[in-house]
């Protein structure tokens, strides 16, 4: 199978997978929900272990946003099960989300195998919306663990943008310029541009912001 990569805005490719919670059909089984699929290089590795603990400790935050988590790597399901058991026994953390056991086809379909890094999957994050569309992708090298708070923030930001028709500034909700406010879409007519400063707080007509 050729290595590919879905694009932002594409529907997530249909896949049937084996997981620690049984077989799943994606994205069908997550229809109507936001969900995060994240891949890790391998079970029983230090960085991946810290990530799984961090994801689990934020699971309630994701679920408050109506978002589920799904992990994945090119490991057999029994390895996932044993690793989850180890994490519970040695670290006192119970992993509650499913982990996909892939033997290659899914990783290839999603562009998760770097030719220069052997057969391990890269650290990728996909955020998929309730319609099954891919809304955000982040790729990390094997050597660098992810920031889970940023992934929580990204889900919240996407939902806020969709619900309010606005753009989200850097480091929101703690932006250096406009704090927790959001950015109003740019004017698309001369009249609209002239009226902007009377409708919103603006640095200029093309950079206006407001509270939600």
Catalytic residues: 48
- Are the C-beta atoms of residues 183 and 207 closer than 8 Å to each other? yes
Q: List CB contacts of 10: < 8 A, sequence separation 6 or more.
A: 133, 134
Rounded-to-integer distance, Cα 203 and Cα 175, Å: 15
Indicate the DSSP class of residue 132: S
Rounded-to-integer distance, Cα 203 and Cα 195, Å: 13
Partnered with residue 68 across adjacent β-strands are 35
């Amino acid at each position: 199978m050729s290595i590919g990569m879905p694009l932002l805005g594409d529907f997530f490719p249909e896949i049937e997978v084996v997981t620690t919670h049984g077989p799943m059909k994606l994205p069908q089984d997550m229809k109507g929900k936001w969900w995060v699929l994240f891949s890790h290089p391998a079970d029983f590795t230090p960085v991946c272990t810290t990530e799984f603990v961090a994801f689990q400790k934020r699971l309630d935050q994701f679920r408050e946003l109506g978002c589920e988590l799904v992990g994945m790597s090119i490991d057999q399901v029994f390895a996932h099960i044993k690793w989850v058991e180890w994490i519970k026994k040695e670290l006192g953390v119970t992993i509650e989300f499913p982990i996909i056991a892939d033997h290659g086809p899914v990783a290839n379909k999603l562009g998760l195998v770097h030719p220069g890094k052997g057969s391990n999957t890269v650290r990728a994050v996909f955020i998929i919306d309730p319609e099954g569309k891919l809304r955000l992708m982040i790729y990390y090298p094997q050597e660098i663990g992810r920031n889970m708070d940023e992934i929580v923030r990204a889900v919240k930001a996407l939902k806020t943008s969709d619900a309010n028709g606005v753009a989200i500034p850097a480091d929101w909700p703690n932006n250096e310029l406009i704090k927790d406010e959001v950015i109003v879409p740019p004017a698309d007519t001369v009249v609209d541009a002239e009226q902007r400063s009377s409708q919103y707080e603006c640095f200029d007509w093309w950079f206006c912001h407001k509270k939600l």
